[in-house]
Structure 1
Amino acid sequence: MNFIETSEAPAPGGHYSQAVEHNGLIFISGILPITPAGEKLTDATFSEQTEQVLKNLDAILAAAGSERSNVLKVTVFITDMSAWGSVNQVYAQFFGDHKPARSVVPVLPLHYGLKIELEAVATR
């Protein structure tokens, strides 16, 4: 088991790793729209928050020796399903032709009043 950590994504806010790699699979913890410097994008639009979450995903994948084309499964937690169109547009642009399995889960407000959280499973 290998614990993944990078300063190119926000530091964990609790007792967990940014990601854990085991037997070639990478389990990426919930990623919030927080910059690597710790700025919480609470007032940003859904699109802007989604862009930051995906930038953080890229950084964690790179630290694990992987990339977005190796993402197998994504779970997106979103506080307002009416914003799904803008979130999905940013998501589709990010992944391009690659279409990992995905679940979208509507949730109550997230930490710090943020609007989106994403977790993923990837391979190396």
Structure 2
Amino acid sequence: MSKKIIVTDKAPAPIGPYSQAVQAGNMLFISGQIPINPATGNVEATDIQGEATQVMENLKAILTEAGTTFASIVKTNIYLSDMNLFAQVNEVYGKYFEKDFPARETVAVKGLPKGVNVEISMIAAL
């Protein structure tokens, strides 16, 4: 099985030795995205809704580059700095899906890159 690296300048460049996404066969594995504005390389969101929106827009840009949409997502992992942020992130996240929601888990972690409050990774079936 061959793999294809997915890269777009409409999502943040990786901040480590990983790819934005990798397509293997009919599966797309998207690395965790944090709320970095790809135009500036900075975290500009001032609240959790803004952070969640930027993360989802980064994911959308990668999906678009791969030629797909949120409708193809089968699994999502959400990492939060505090579970008290769950409802606010869930509200933003839900706006990006129409029906047939993917499987998902949400966990609180001790820390996230650049001190952000949310990171989301996804797996799509193409």
Give the equivalent residue in structure 2 for 1:87. 89
Partner in structure 1 of residue 4 of structure 2:
2
- 1:50 CA drift (Å): 0.4
How many Å apart are 1:109 and its aligned residue?
2.1
Q: Helix, strand or coil for the counterpart of 1:9? A: coil
Answer yes or no: is 1:52 the counterpart of 2:64.
Answer: no
> Which one of 87, 95, 104 corresponds to residue 102 of structure 1?
104
Q: Unaligned stretches of 5+ in structure 1?
A: none
Distance in 1 (alpha carbons) for counterparts of 2:33 and 2:23: 16
Find the residue that maps to 1:52 and give its secondary structure. Answer: helix
Distance of 2:121 and 2:95 partners within structure 1: 18
- 1:66·1:123 contact (CA, 8 Å) conserved in 2? no
Q: Which amino acid aligns with 1:4?
A: I
Match of 1:73 among 72, 75, 79: 75
CA RMSD of aligned residues (A): 1.0
| TM-score of the superposed pair, with normalisation by structure 1 | 0.95
1:98 Cα offset (Å)? 3.5
Percentage identity across aligned positions?
38
Moved over 2 A (4+): none
The answer as to 2:122 corresponding to 1:120 is yes
In the alignment, structure 2 segments of 5+ residues that lack a partner are none
Question: Counterpart in 2 of 1:40?
Answer: 43
Report the count of equivalent residues.
Answer: 123
Deviation track 1:80-124 (CA, whole Å, cap 9, x = no partner) reads: 111111111111112132310001011012111100000000022
- What does the per-residue CA deviation read over 1:20-64, in whole Å, with 9 as the maximum and x for residues that have no partner? 0011100000101001121213x6211110000000000000111
Taking structure 2 as the reference length, the TM-score comes to 0.93
Task: Determine the C-alpha separation between the residues in 2 that align with 1:112 and 1:96.
Answer: 31
Q: Which amino acid aligns with 2:62?
A: I
Q: CA–CA distance in 2 between the matches of 1:51 and 1:19?
A: 19
